[in-house]
A and B are shown apart, each in its own frame.
Chain A
Amino acid sequence: MRRKPFPWHITVFLAPAVIVYTVFMIYPMLASLKFSLYQTVEEGRQVFVGLGNYAKLLTDPIWNEPFWNAFWNNVVFFVIHMTLQNPIGLFLAVLLAANIRGAWIYRTIIFTPTILSVVLIGFAWKLILSPTWGIWFPLLDRLGLGDNEVAIALLGNESSALITLSLISVWQNIGIPMMLFLAALIRIPHELIEAAQVDGAGSWRIFWRIQFPLIVPTVGIVAILTFIGNFNAFDLIYATQGALAGPDFSTDIMGTFFFRTFFGFQLRPGDPNMGATVAGMMLLIILAGVLLYLYGWQRRMEEVQF
């Protein structure tokens, strides 16, 4: 029996992706992980400290307080996205899938903030909520809330800043789950819905019994994309609150914590080794979430795929 010749053409097709991915993704990631196992003792000299940096990050109060603060803030950030962005995105998608008039206009308008630069979004919202020029103050005065301590400084109060920023982010990103859900909803064969209508099912029932079960895989994908996006988030907080993620670190999330650690802040020079350690923890958290999704959700989903 003759062996088949080695399929060289496959290598040729794979090569560009493999090379680019290795050089720009895999190598930097491994280098960064390696970096987190070292400590700089003096100019240019690195010593291997094993998991010492991770131990320091999790046990030394100077490090673990801001770390857990950033982690829990990030959890809140994620929970708000999961409970608002995705259900509302789904709701909008169902409305758009129902062939309402001018659906494409709504679709475009709702999707627009997603393609705008985060810096622009942050700046625009800062202006809207600004106590000096914003339209927020006149609005509050009309509503009789002009004296409310929290309402007049949404981005300045610890109780409201993180929630406000999460809502801005939801407002900006809602187009993505909406589009993904919409694409999935359109793929559902029309006969199924028509048959249900003939059987006398209302919209509510059609949604829960037919549409939702058929787009459950997309729900999982949207959830995991939200998770990854939220735990990697940085730009919106940095653009509106600065690197210190004020007030009193109440809007500090993993990304801003990493930024301050790696690049330093004000009088403190950065600590690239500890920065790489924080990045390593971010990778670990995201990896844990993704594995949970792959084994806990994706596997079960394979049985319902159609």
Chain B
Amino acid sequence: MNHRLTKILAVAALLAATFLGGAFAQKLVIESWRTDDLKLWKDVIIPAFNKHYPDIEVVFAPTAPAEYNAVLDSKLQAGTAGDLITCRPFGKSLELFNKGHLAPLDDLPGMENFTDFAKVAWTTDDGATTYCVPMASVIHGFLYNKDLFAKYGFQPPKTYEEFMELLAQMKKKAPALAPLVMGTKDQWEAATMGWHNIAPNYYGGEAGRRAFLAGKEGFHTDGFLEAYKALAQWAPYLPRGYKAVSYSDAQQLFTQGRGFIYPAGSWDIGVFRQMNPKLNMGAFKAPPPAGATKSYISDHQDIALGLNPASKNPEAAKKFLSWLTTREFAELYGNALPGFFPLHNYDITISDPVANEFLSWRQTSEGTFRMTYYKLSDQKPDAETDLWTASVNILNGKMQPEEAAKWMECRLASWYGPHKHFASELNCK
């Protein structure tokens, strides 16, 4: 009898050992909207992490981008959300932190590998607490077709004036090709690839943005107004029928070689490599106006990872988050997704030459993020959606730059405290 019991126990122990040996001791689930990156996480990132921590199982479980916010909210409320949460920049993540759905991460080992600018999109307004580990930003600039440039003997412009001159030359020498490939139908490109792309050079990057937040500047003053005026000059150089050209139409036009210059977000690089691997692309940054001493680029924090305080494996989750701060992850991620640039302090090399060109601008220009994303879109009417409308109206010839700037400022001044004084100065109704 005793003998049999020992036998049973031995078998049970053996079975348990096999199960535990086969499975991981701890399991982490990542919530994300990056459905496109599922394969990358499964085949590259998670195996690389498991080399250091073989006993932590990581599952990447993305939801479609358009549904992510809503799905995440309901999962968090129901207590079924994963251990790690991919953070949207600015308002959305701050809201989650304030509701207690994101844990503070200031003490996380490795956080010193990020500058304050890298962390700003996931830090409280007073700068005291950071609640997500920055992963990547996207940079704006211009892509151009190198073969077409060589054929007509064009050089990338250094100043905005040269840029406009170049566009005029293109229109004259190659009337069948579009000098600047962008449409206004989907609306966001006009604001994102247009205004946000070139405006930092006019309002002076971070300093200008802070002056704006403090109410010293408005959309209708100085550099901000100049940016609208600069954007308005694009209209004659956009493709034929640009008012009905959508984002994907513009991508097609450029990759098929039917236009010279494409106002881009860095994420387009990876897309274009797939759409037309033979396309010979080059890149230049948003050209500053002549005589400017400094140049600025839009370097927009886009994606980060935070810790769900309700996680059952917070220690394992923190190990994973710490690993995200390493050089190894930065190089892995930056190279797997050309156009998504790690926000770490390290000097990393990206193998894609065009993506590397974008990254090199961080050395020569001061970065700033899309200024309407922070605070200015917290209430209705939000500055970002208004910027879409205003930029499209300027390019479509419906509004003059001054008119658009005043319209936006009046709408913002209707609710944003520090700008209230502009409402009376501008005689807003």
Contact = CB atoms under 8 A, between A and B. Distances in A.
B389 A248 contact: yes
Contacts of B398: 158, 247-248
Interface stretch (A84-92, A262-270, A286-294): A262-270
A165 to B, nearest CB: 12
A244 B384 contact: no
Given A130-B249, A158-B398, A244 B244 contact: no
A268 B385 contact: yes
A154 B246 CA distance: 13
Contact of B385 (A153, A154, A266, A269): A266
B385 A131 contact: no
B171 interface: no
A233 interface: no
Contacts of A132: 239, 245, 249, 252-253, 258
A244 B388 contact: yes
Contacts of B311: none
B241 A267 contact: no
Given A132-B249, A156-B242, A248-B389, A267 B184 contact: no
Interface string A240-284: 011010111100000000000001011111010000000000000
Nearest to B95: A269
Interface string B378-398: 001110110011001100101
A270 to B, nearest CB: 8
A62 B381 contact: yes
B184 A156 contact: yes
Interface in B236-287: 239-246, 249, 252-253, 258
Interface string B44-71: 0000000000000000000000000110
**Interface secondary structure of A, over-half rule:** loop
Contacts of A267: 91-92, 373, 377, 382, 384-385
Interface string B37-48: 000000000000
A153 B187 contact: no
Contacts of A247: 184-185, 187, 243, 392-393, 396, 398
A160 to B, nearest CB: 10
A86 to B, nearest CB: 29
A155 interface: yes
Interface string A105-146: 000000000000000000000100111110001000000000
Nearest to A156: B243
A32 interface: no
Interface in B207-262: 239-246, 249, 252-253, 258
Interface centre among B69, B243, B245 (most CB of A within 10 A): B243
A199 interface: no
A153 B381 contact: no
B346 to A, nearest CB: 31
B256 to A, nearest CB: 9
A241 B183 CA distance: 13
A302 interface: no
Contacts of B187: 242, 244, 246-247
A154 B185 CA distance: 11
Contacts of B165: none
Nearest to B382: A268
A303 interface: no
B414 interface: yes
Contact of B185 (A156, A158, A268, A269): A156
A191 interface: no
Given A43-B99, A246-B392, A152 B240 contact: yes
A69 to B, nearest CB: 12
A137 B241 contact: yes
A157 interface: yes
Contacts of B380: 62, 268, 271
B186 interface: yes
Contacts of A126: 246
A268 B377 CA distance: 7
Contacts of B245: 130-132, 153, 156
A129 B244 contact: yes
A157 B243 contact: yes
A226 B186 CA distance: 29
Nearest to A260: B385
A247 B186 CA distance: 9
Given A132-B252, A132-B253, A267-B384, A152 B392 contact: no
B243 A248 contact: no
B241 A156 contact: yes
A96 B39 CA distance: 56
Contacts of B393: 247-248
Contacts of A158: 396, 398
Question: Nearest 10 pairs between A and B by C-beta?
Answer: A156-B243, A131-B241, A156-B244, A153-B244, A153-B243, A152-B241, A267-B377, A132-B249, A153-B241, A155-B244
Interface of A: 43, 62, 126, 129-133, 137, 152-158, 241-242, 244, 246-249, 263, 265-269, 271
Interface of B: 69-70, 91-92, 99, 183-188, 239-246, 249, 252-253, 258, 373, 377, 380-382, 384-385, 388-389, 392-393, 396, 398, 414
Given A130-B246, A131-B183, 7 more contacts: A62-B381, A132-B253, A154-B244, A155-B244, A247-B393, A266-B188, A268-B382
